[in-house]
Amino acid sequence: MNIGIFGGSFNPIHIGHLIAAEEVFQQRALSKIIFVPTGISPHKDASNLIAPAHRYQMIKEAIGDNDHFELSDVETKRPGRSYTVDTIRTFKEMYGEESHLYLIVGTDMINDISTWKDVAVLSRMCSFIVIDRFPVPLQEATGADKPRGIAIFPPEKRREIERLKVTIPPIGVSSSEIRDRLKRGAGIRYLVPRCVEDYIKRNSLYGKG
């Protein structure tokens, strides 16, 4: 099996996430894509992060009609900070060496990958599918102190990353924008699936404090 691992806070999940995942599935001919909502991320501010149970349920409802999308709580159930290398190791154990794992990341994330835990180990366990998120370009640069972006990898890995890159239609929507609109009392119709919008309203999430 060729399995895509799509991690993120999904705070909340929106149409941009779904379109990106579907494009990756089709362009890279994957067997399936597993959505993995983060628990406690070592890289992002968690002050605006709602409870894992809510984010998990919104994803579940959003992908419920897509038979090649799945959902995992491997990170939200993990105590303490959650690192991608541990998540990929868990999926390796679940699916075995005969399956190939593809970690789906945006250009913004791959550009900062030198800050990730055990990135050399991670790169040996999986391939990276980079979503070309306009206008953030894929970086391959060596700074004054150390390499950044894909420059931290050996040439063969850099070529693989370039080969697996996926371009998606530019979609001007983000989770932070959705949270901001909800705090202002503005509508979010067509920015998220209707089931997600209904869930947010039912549970009074992201509203004015």
pLDDT, position 97: 87
- Could you tell me which of 192, 136, 141, 193 has the C-alpha nearest to residue 168? 136
pLDDT, position 45: 63
pLDDT, position 141: 54
- CATH number of the domain to which 149 belongs: 3.40.50.620
- Residue at 208 is within a domain: no
pLDDT of the chain, 209 residues: tens digit per residue:
999 999 999 999 999 999 999 999 999 999 999 999 998 766 666 678 999 999 999 999 999 999 999 999 999 998 888 899 999 999 999 999 899 999 999 988 888 898 999 999 999 999 999 998 655 556 655 555 667 788 999 999 999 999 999 988 888 899 999 999 999 999 999 999 999 999 999 999 998 64
- Residue at 79 is within a domain: yes
- Residue at 126 is within a domain: yes
- Residue at 129 is within a domain: yes
Pairing type for strands 32-37 and 2-8 reads parallel
- Could you tell me which of 91, 136, 110, 85 has the C-alpha nearest to residue 1? 91
Indicate the pTM of the whole model. 0.91
Count of structural domains within the chain: 1
Give the Cβ contact number of residue 10 at 10 Å: 21
Phi-psi region of 134 (alpha: psi -120 to 50; beta: other; left: phi over 0): beta
- Residue at 199 is within a domain: no
- Could you tell me which of 108, 110, 139 has the C-alpha nearest to residue 126? 110
- Residue at 142 is within a domain: yes
What range defines the domain where residue 112 resides?
Answer: 2-172
- Residue at 179 is within a domain: no
- Residue at 184 is within a domain: no
- Write out the DSSP string of the chain: -EEEEEEE--TT--HHHHHHHHHHHHHTT-SEEEEEE-SB-SSS--TTPPPHHHHHHHHHHHTTT-TTEEE--TTTTSSSB--HHHHHHHHHHHH-TTSEEEEEEEHHHHTTGGGSTTHHHHHHH-EEEEEE-TTSPPPEEE-SSSEEEGGGS-HHHHHHHHHH-EE-------HHHHHHHHHHT---BTTB-HHHHHHHHHTT-S---
- Write out the DSSP string of 39-68: SB-SSS--TTPPPHHHHHHHHHHHTTT-TT
pLDDT, position 136: 55
pLDDT, position 96: 92
